[in-house]
Amino acid sequence: FCILAVLGSRHLTHLNSRVLMLLGQLEKLNGEAVLSDAEVSRHITSKILHLIQTQEKTRKEITAKGSSGMEVILASLEVSGGRRVGVLVSKGGTAILLQLLITTSKEWPPSEELMLQLHTILAKVGPKDRKFGIKARINGALNITVSLLKQNLQNHKLLLPCLQVLRVYSANSVNAVSLGKNGVVELLFKIIGPYSKKNTSILKVTLDTLAALLKSKANARRAVDRTYVPTLLAVYQDWHRNDTRHRHVHIRKAILGCIRNITNIKLGRKAFLEADGMRILYSTSTECLSVRTLDPLINTSSLIMRKCFPKNRLPVPTIRSVFHYQLPHIPAEGPVAQLYRQPPDVDDVVDESDDNDDTEADTENDTENEEDEKNHKTQNDDIETDISKLRPKENLTRPLEDLKMYECFFPELSENFQVKVLTSCQTPAVLPKSLAPIVVPTAHAPSPLSLDGPGGAGGAGEGLAQELERVALEEDTLNGQSQSPVVGSLQGELEHDDDCSSHSSGELGVLEVPDTAALLPLHDPELYIDMVKGTKSVPQYTEVAYPDYFGHVAPTFREHILERVYGVQRAKIFQDIERMIHPNDILDKVVYDLDLKRLIDDGESLKFNSQFESGNLRKAVQVRKFEYDLILNSDINSNHYHQWFYFEVSGMRVGSSYRFNIINCEKVNSQFNYGMQVLMYSVQEAISGHPRWVRTGTEICYYKNHFSRSSIAAGGQKGKSYYTMTFTVTFQYRDDVCYFAYHYPYTYSTLKMHLQKLEALRTPQIYLRQDVLCETLGGNSCPLLTITAMPQSSSNDQICQFKNRPYVFLTARVHPGETNASWVMKGTLEFLMSPSPMAQSLRESYVFKIVPMLNPDGVINGNHRCSLSGEDLNRQWQRPSPDLHPTIFHTKGLLQYLSSIQRVPLVYCDYHGHSRKKNVFMYGCSIKETLWQTNVNAAACDLQEDLSYRTLPKILSQLAPAFSMASCSFVVEKSKESTARVVVWREIGVQKSYTMESTLCGCDQGKYKGLQIGTRELEEMGAQFCIALLRLKRLSSPLEFRNSSHFLDVENDLIESRCKVTSSTTYVLDEDEPSFMEEVDYSAESNDEPEPDPDPQETPADEDGLSDSELALRRS
């Protein structure tokens, strides 16, 4: 290495015999490559060094033209693998080698052998040196290699190392731009040729280099201008045809790599389509399908085709919700204000701009590490670092006299139990009036069942009109049926119902309701219908979905998380691409459309319906005979949020596989890619004694599709697409009516039914109150429950104990799409009402204040996330509006009232559901743990913080099999500052303030590992939460704590968690309280198998920036 340094300075002639001899020895050693000879070679090289340092003549000799001296020395670097190269790089050898390259190039004529040797070494050194690209540019080496290449296009011996070095240069984005300007793209295209068995390694390096250069948008444009896209496609086809034994997959993949990078720009995609690229890649891929080793080709082809697939608008007139709800006033700012400010015709803007996911920053400027910095930042961006925002907020936002109105919700605090009558505290609620006849929904088999009773007049007005319209539809169906009679058991049983649809007879059909009274003590179909009558929906629904009417009995069999089947996603994507390749095969028949209301039904297609509580299907389009595209309605007063779904299907053929595609999903990823199935409810099964939701569907996957998502609905981000959730179902029964849902439905009417049934569980020991906290925007009441134990006697001691019980405040279902939260809440409520000694002990320990559904309107109207105000209610806790967010305003009011009378709850917990993670877990709040995530350690050291916020989750992790401590987090994020958890912690001062997240999918640990979650497990979770509260009580009582302190090693846990601050489990972007920052790498999504780690020799690490290094290099 020192020799190189000395020699690098000058070149002279003649060799001294002594040096010759030493070089000979070195060469011999290099040849033998015996590691133990390292000492010997060090000895020899040091002698050479001594000679050239002391004798000018020797130096001249060694570097003389025609002398092999340099080669021998350089070759010695290659011995013993990359170890010496690594040392060379670490000692700054790259710059010296580059300098040597410059010096050599100035010789005339330059020494070809030396250039060859230098490039060979540089090709090895380059990939080991992260700053190689920058160093090469600064030293001016780029042009030397390029001109050498230009002069030696036919000289294959020299070509290969030069190209290898060029490939390393090109990995640096600034270099790529500069090389492109110097005509290197064109130069490389001279080397790329048709299929040949010769010089494949040269071709491979050329293609890799080209692919690297084409990452630059300027180079991609250049390639499009020179019409290289058809050239690349032709070359690809040629190799595909001739490489029949698949010896050169790497070359074929490298060609695709070039196409992939060119098509990152709009012009490239246009050129690709014009060159018939879709058809070429589609047919070549189809031919590759049978050979597993060709998967990388298929995957890359599929990626390119999807990128180039022309973007379509969703086939809907507007992306806003079909239903409109007039707000009392439009908020001054926020998403709703934006929505209302837009002119009606610009709500869905399709732009063809480059998707940011797939393109690199154009790097005409030296901004090499900008991307890196950005990526680094997003990881910690959201953590609250402002300590003033983490400290408790003292002043109450509402005056005390204002909070007095909540006193009546706490009669337990003034109750003396001398008089038995409890005063009722209801804010004046408009009594629900029945709007229209309530009809059990149907498709063609069971006709609408009027639940008004025999001779029921049915409602007047709009509701009736809707029903008549529906009747007309039914008759069409029946006509269709009579031509091809299908006799199913359900139809047989329900045949009387046909008369019902004519409305004139008003005869009530006999519907066989499964007898589930014993299994479902809280369910009562008749009561459910009564509840529905009092539920007010914006679309004024007049139907009831069978599953909600019959109820759900959790199946006893296990439902495993699905194994991901190889190649499913790819197959689905190919079917989508075929729509473009064979457009004539596509039916494109609209079979359901909320915007149109009336459709022709020819009996050839499935029938869809979702006009019932929590339903939200907007449109169904039959694409192929057994394939349907489905579009979900946006949340009311919003133009997005689609994830939750609930709809009815009928008119199916038995034994045929139907593919359903929900084409306007928004999340970048979903548990549907990790084993989660949809839920299906078969009315036939229900009638035959199994009323239940069952996990169903095969070939399930979730992927980005070709429907363009307007930037207006994507937070201003351009070039975004929707995602498809696809699943396939084979129906088992004729004339069945089936329902599909994202998760186990739990409607507002179901809640009201359950609450009414809870009354029946009351015993003399139980203190249960049900109040109406307030009325929602949509005119529905928001229930509030108080549960505790009656005082054991009216003695002063007992009354005193009663009045001093700490409060536990629970809420759920602020997000309508998270129905699992309601099932957990159901489990909690049932446990609290149970006669077991443990439940009694729990009731004697606390007073429970529960708001089981914070967002009734959202639930009723089939929203996924928002209330009628078009806002996420779990972002309104800092400043809830009494008009727009009454449930939040008043729930917070209750908490503020408790705080004002020094009765701050011991525990607050808000139940949620999580769509991207498995298990059940909690988010809490800790200043220290938040600050540990950042570098504000100094401030954290002075803080005293009680660690007890960890106790409850810790107990749960020991108690509840679905609960995972590892997924819990106690970090406060900026984006969550207005959530219930953070506001109740900071403003109300509840130290144990949590969000409890239950998976929508299943568990990957504990007793339920590998199983999808069901209502039984969710309800069990709700009960275990109660048991955990009891244990919390016992642990905090000093007598018992002594015995069990070893049981909860909170301190140790904390230390553990502190060690893994960077792990993804401690700090998570939970979807539940989403921040739009999340990005998932979708470039790899079409790879069912991960690509093997690239050889470090092949792909050099990304370059660092210039800032310091450039100066440092210049100095050296």
Query: Which residue's entry shows tokens 């007073």?
Result: 847
Q: Which one among 543, 1004, 1072, 1085 touches Zn ion, defined by CB under 5 A?
A: 1072
Q: How far apart are CA 413 and CA 409, in angstroms?
A: 10
Q: Give the closest residue to 679 by CA, choosing from 694, 660, 701.
A: 694
Query: Which residue's entry shows tokens 């309104």?
Result: 876
Q: How far apart are CA 517 and CA 522, in angstroms?
A: 8
Tell me if 917 contacts Zn ion by CB under 5 A: no
Chain centroid to Cα 701, Å, comes to: 13
- Mask of contacts with Zn ion, 762-801, x by CB under 5 A? ----------------------------------------
Q: Give the closest residue to 652 by CA, choosing from 687, 625, 619, 679.
A: 625
Q: Give the closest residue to 202 by CA, choosing from 248, 164, 245, 165.
A: 164
The nearer residue to Zn ion, 991 or 995, going by C-beta atoms, is 995
Neighbours of 571 (CB within 10 A): 15
CB of 814 to Zn ion, least distance (A): 6
The nearer residue to Zn ion, 789 or 1021, going by C-beta atoms, is 1021
CB of 1065 to Zn ion, least distance (A): 19
CB of 748 to Zn ion, least distance (A): 17
CB of 96 to Zn ion, least distance (A): 60
Stretch that binds Zn ion, among 181-189, 217-225, 570-578, 905-913 (CB under 5 A): 905-913
Handedness of CA 547, 552, 554, 556 (dihedral sign): negative
CB of 1071 to Zn ion, least distance (A): 8
Q: Which one among 252, 523, 640, 912 touches Zn ion, defined by CB under 5 A?
A: 912
Chain centroid to Cα 35, Å, comes to: 51
- Mask of contacts with Zn ion, 725-744, x by CB under 5 A? --------------------
Stretch that binds Zn ion, among 21-29, 800-808, 876-884, 1072-1080 (CB under 5 A): 1072-1080
Which helix (H) or strand (E) segment holds residue 327: the answer is: none
What is the SS3 assignment for 510-573? CCCCCCCCCCCCCCCHHHHHHHHHCCCCCCCCCECCHHHHHCCCCCCCCCECCCCCCCHHHHHH
The nearer residue to Zn ion, 570 or 667, going by C-beta atoms, is 667
CB of 1072 to Zn ion, least distance (A): 4
Whether 997 is a known active-site residue: answer: yes
What CA–CA distances, in Å, run from 811 to 42, 321, 1025?
75, 27, 13
* Interstrand relation of 657-665 and 720-730 (parallel, antiparallel or unpaired): antiparallel
Token pair listed for 867: 């209330």
The nearer residue to Zn ion, 570 or 912, going by C-beta atoms, is 912
Query: Which residue's entry shows tokens 């920058």?
Result: 134
The nearer residue to Zn ion, 815 or 1031, going by C-beta atoms, is 815
Q: How far apart are the first and last CA of the chain?
A: 16
The nearer residue to Zn ion, 544 or 971, going by C-beta atoms, is 971
Tell me if 815 contacts Zn ion by CB under 5 A: yes
Stretch that binds Zn ion, among 514-522, 818-826, 903-911, 937-945 (CB under 5 A): 818-826
Token pair listed for 166: 């060029």
CB of 911 to Zn ion, least distance (A): 9
Q: Is residue 793 exposed (0-12), middle (13-18) or buried (19+ Cβ within 10 Å)?
A: exposed
- Mask of contacts with Zn ion, 239-278, x by CB under 5 A? ----------------------------------------
Query: Which residue's entry shows tokens 């700090």?
Result: 1067
The nearer residue to Zn ion, 45 or 671, going by C-beta atoms, is 671
The nearer residue to Zn ion, 124 or 815, going by C-beta atoms, is 815
The nearer residue to Zn ion, 266 or 912, going by C-beta atoms, is 912
Stretch that binds Zn ion, among 4-12, 483-491, 595-603, 813-821 (CB under 5 A): 813-821
Stretch that binds Zn ion, among 291-299, 368-376, 756-764, 908-916 (CB under 5 A): 908-916
Stretch that binds Zn ion, among 215-223, 277-285, 580-588, 808-816 (CB under 5 A): 808-816
Stretch that binds Zn ion, among 349-357, 621-629, 715-723, 816-824 (CB under 5 A): 816-824
List 61, 997, 1020, 1085, catalytic entry: 997
CB of 820 to Zn ion, least distance (A): 10
- Measure the CA angle with vertex 189, ends 185 and 192; round to 5°: 140
Q: How far apart are CA 741 and CA 726, in angstroms?
A: 13
Token pair listed for 202: 């040269």
Omega within 30 of 0 (cis) for the link into 161: no
Total residues contacting Zn ion by CB under 5 A comes to 4
The nearer residue to Zn ion, 174 or 868, going by C-beta atoms, is 868
334 torsion bin: left (phi>0), alpha (psi -120 to 50), beta (else) = left
CB of 909 to Zn ion, least distance (A): 13
CB of 815 to Zn ion, least distance (A): 4
Tell me if 444 contacts Zn ion by CB under 5 A: no
Burial state string for 1087-1114 with b = 16 or more CB within 10 A and e = fewer than 16: bbeeeeeeeeeeebeebbbbeebbeebe
Question: Which residues are known to be catalytic?
Answer: 997
Residue ranges that bind Zn ion, judged by CB under 5 A = 815, 818, 912, 1072
